[in-house]
């Protein structure tokens, strides 16, 4: 099991309503694993694998929001490109959180969307971690992550980070995405 992570606590808050996570990953197990976390024991935000699904959640004594893919990502030999795009300023609930797998907008199973103008702990002045829970040494990411992008203030879809190869039809990485951080 992995036990490596990176962390930082921002000195000033960023945009807590609009952000994007893009990561290429290869998982080694089916356990619950966090890509990115922020918050404390009583107020947790996570972007993670859980039950082999890609999801974002806010937990504060119970799930206050949970958006999870229907797709089960069980292949430990495959690279996945995952994008979590959030814009809670949107008037339509289903436009506030979008999850992409290998360039495709994912079908969702759990959809407890955030309320309009909801503020996440992401981009706040709380501990942020890549590769584990933010408040404890638990739920480490067991696998490989590459090209991890965290964008503060813009909700991107998957297209800046990858494209479909015209010969193979496979989703491929854009090494230098055209995004504003």
Residue 137: how many CB atoms within 10 A of its CB? 10
- pLDDT (0 to 100) of residue 175: 93
pLDDT in tens, 33-67: 888 888 877 788 889 988 899 999 888 776 678 89
Residue 169 burial (10 A CB sphere; 0-12, 13-18, 19+): exposed
- pLDDT (0 to 100) of residue 178: 94
pLDDT in tens, 107-165: 999 889 999 999 999 999 988 988 877 766 667 788 899 999 999 999 999 999 999 99
- pLDDT (0 to 100) of residue 136: 67
Q: What is the pLDDT confidence band of residue 2, given thresholds at 50, 70 and 90?
A: low
What would you report as the CA-atom Rg of the chain, rounded to the nearest whole angstrom? 15
Average pLDDT over residues 75-95: 96
Residues 35, 46, 105, CA angle at the centre, nearest 5°? 75
What residues contact residue 177 under an 8 Å CB cut-off, 6+ apart? 22, 149, 160, 161
The residue written with tokens 């909700």 in the block is 155
147: left (phi over 0), alpha (psi -120 to 50) or beta: left
- Please state, in angstroms and rounded to a whole number, the distance separating the CA atoms of residues 112 and 9: 28
- pLDDT (0 to 100) of residue 171: 97
Average pLDDT over residues 83-101: 97
- pLDDT (0 to 100) of residue 63: 64
Cβ(35)–Cβ(99) below 8 Å = no
What beta strand segments (E) does 70-142 contain? Answer: 80-87, 97-101, 104-105, 108-112, 128-130
Q: With a threshold of 0.85, does the pTM exceed it?
A: yes
């Amino acid at each position: 099991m992995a036990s490596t992570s990176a962390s930082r606590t921002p000195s000033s808050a960023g945009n807590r309503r609009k952000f994007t996570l893009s990561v290429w990953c290869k998982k080694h197990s089916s356990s619950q694993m966090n890509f990115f976390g922020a918050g404390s024991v009583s107020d947790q935000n996570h972007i993670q694998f859980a039950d082999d699904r890609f999801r974002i959640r806010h937990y504060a004594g119970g799930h206050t929001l949970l958006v999870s893919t229907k797709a089960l990502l069980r292949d430990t030999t495959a690279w996945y490109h995952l994008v979590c795009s959030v814009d809670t300023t949107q008037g339509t609930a289903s436009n506030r959180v979008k999850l992409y797998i290998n360039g495709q907008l994912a079908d969702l199973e759990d959809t407890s969307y955030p309320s309009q103008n909801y503020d996440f702990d992401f981009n706040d002045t709380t501990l942020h971690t890549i590769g584990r829970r933010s408040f404890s040494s638990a739920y480490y990411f067991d696998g490989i992550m590459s090209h991890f992008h965290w964008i503060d203030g813009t909700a991107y879809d998957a297209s800046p980070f990858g494209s479909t190869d015209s010969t193979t039809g496979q989703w491929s990485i854009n090494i230098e995405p055209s995004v504003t951080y």
